[in-house]
């Protein structure tokens, strides 16, 4: 006698959910059963609609790479941000993290990743061409490199700094600071963080 | 200046995902961004399709309450299980857990819950009428009550036992055993578990 199991459509749903980040096999099964638990499959349909709507209407802003439903995202469309500083980040999701600090009010540019030769990610795989085009079309007051403090982030920042300094010698080029994380004591900081905090010390 | 945020359709998707069990606000946002990360919204569409398909084709077996895509589930449709024991459970998902043990080969009946007066769940809210109908139409060799060992499970089992004994005096009525969980030592068992394990002792 073949083992009894859930119907194929339920298993296909669980298989799709298992692909999502942070969802393991057990949690995919649990979520599938919950989704099918509503009357007449209403839960499934509501989530399916939200997915369909997001797929249909959300796209990447052709200028900065952030998410938008319009032609341009609200930051690229905002005339008050024109001619201000331009902040270069790795991922579109980094933009909102920086924006939420409230410290920076300029435009952004998401590269869509960082240089990683071991993963076969070269300059041509990143949105570097569009970055240069944007800077040529409307030279920013400053270019802020807000890339990760890891090896790939460092390498990407160094590569971009060289490129941008050569083409836009008049534009101020900066990198976000490295040092102690807020709330962190010296005892919990590693050697590299401490050495960077020291060499990046600011006069008070 | 209004704070920049993700587009409305992305936020509606995250709101839908936040309803799923085990998904918090941060994880809903993370999953939404991942779903929108694929080219042309292909990830969104694949999951939406699986949801739509499951909603369209998976239903509750009208006899036992398990999930099925056919008229009856494979256990209710299996002639080899006819006339055997009938196992009563709270939730349809309990069926697969019992079936996977390989110890029981009969039919099942999911009540769709348990008596919980505080939550306004009375006998009329459970699939008790269909249970009686099934037993009248095809008297089982035995009725096994496989309900939870908590207060509501106990109350439901006692209620059903009384009802079934009155209407089907010739049918053997049993409950699954309570006692030490497999792999558990006496030191980790609570008093109630130990007292039930003692009173349920079996001659060896």
Tens of pLDDT, residue by residue, chain B (204 residues): 467 889 999 999 999 999 999 999 999 999 999 999 877 889 999 999 999 999 999 999 999 999 999 999 999 999 999 889 999 999 998 998 888 888 888 999 999 999 999 999 999 999 999 999 999 999 999 999 999 888 899 999 999 999 999 999 989 999 998 888 888 778 888 888 888 888 888 777
CATH number of A67-177: 3.40.1360.10
H/E run at residue B197: helix B191-199
Give me B98's structure tokens.
């019992």
CATH architecture entry for A7-36 = Orthogonal Bundle (1.10)
Choose the closest CB to A48 out of B12, B52, B69.
B52
Report the chain B residue with the minimal C-alpha distance to residue A45. Answer: B52
Judge: B58–A27 Cβ closer than 8 Å, yes or no: no
Closest Cα in chain A, distance from residue B138 (Å) = 22
B14 contacts: CB under 8 Å, gap ≥ 6 = B6, B25, B28, B29, B31, B32
Q: Is A180 on the interface with B (CB under 8 A)?
A: no
Residues of chain B with CATH 1.10.8.420: 7-36
Distance (Å, whole) CA A175 – CA A158: 10
Q: Tell me which chain B residue has its CA closest to the CA of residue A96.
A: B5
Nearest to B60 by CA among A37, A17, A45, A2: A37
B48/A45 CB distance under 8 A: no
**Cα B17–Cα B20–Cα B23 angle in degrees, nearest 5:** 75
Antiparallel, parallel or unpaired: β A142-146 and A107-110: unpaired
Half-sphere exposure of A67 (CA within 13 A, CB side): 27
What was the pLDDT predicted at A2? 60
Q: Does residue A5 sit at the B interface (CB-CB below 8 Å)?
A: yes
The H or E element that residue A197 is part of is: helix A191-199
pTM over 0.90: no
Cα distance from A151 to chain B (closest Cα, Å)?
24
Residues of chain A found within 8 Å of residue B15, distances taken between Cβ atoms: 50
Nearest to A9 among B3, B5, B53 (CB): B53
Q: What confidence score (pLDDT) does residue A202 get?
A: 79
| More confident of the two residues A55 and B180 | A55
Spatial CA neighbour of B4 closest among A21, A55, A97, A85: A97
**Which among A10, A23, A74 is the nearest to B58, CB-wise?**
A10
**Whole-angstrom Cα distance, residue A24 to residue A18?**
6
Which one of B20, B35, B36 has the shortest CB-CB distance to A31? B20
Residue A202: phi, psi to the nearest 5? -115, 145
Q: Which one has a higher pLDDT value, B186 or A91?
A: A91
Q: Where are the CATH 3.40.1360.10 domain residues in chain A?
A: 67-177
Q: Which residues between 20 and 49 in chain B have a beta carbon less than 8 angstroms from any beta carbon of chain A?
A: 20-23, 27, 30-36, 40-49
């Amino acid at each position: 006698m073949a083992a009894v199991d859930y119907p194929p459509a339920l298993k296909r749903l669980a298989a799709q959910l298992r692909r999502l980040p942070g969802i393991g096999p057990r949690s995919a099964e649990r979520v599938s059963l919950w989704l099918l638990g509503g009357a007449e499959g209403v839960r499934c349909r509501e989530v399916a609609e939200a997915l369909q709507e997001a797929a249909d209407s959300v796209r990447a802003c052709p200028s900065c790479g952030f998410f938008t439903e319009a032609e341009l995202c609200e930051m690229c469309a905002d005339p008050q941000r024109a001619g201000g500083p331009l902040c270069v980040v790795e991922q579109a999701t980094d933009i909102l993290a920086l924006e939420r600090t409230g410290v920076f009010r300029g435009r952004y540019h998401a590269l869509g990743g960082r240089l990683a030769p071991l993963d076969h990610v070269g300059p041509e795989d990143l949105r570097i061409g569009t970055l240069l085009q944007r800077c040529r079309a409307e030279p920013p007051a400053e270019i802020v490199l807000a890339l990760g403090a890891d090896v790939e982030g460092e390498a990407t920042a160094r590569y971009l700094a060289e490129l941008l300094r050569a083409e836009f010698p008049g534009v101020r080029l900066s990198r976000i600071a490295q040092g102690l994380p807020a709330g962190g004591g010296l005892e919990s900081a590693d050697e590299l963080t401490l050495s960077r905090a020291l060499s990046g010390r600011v006069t008070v």
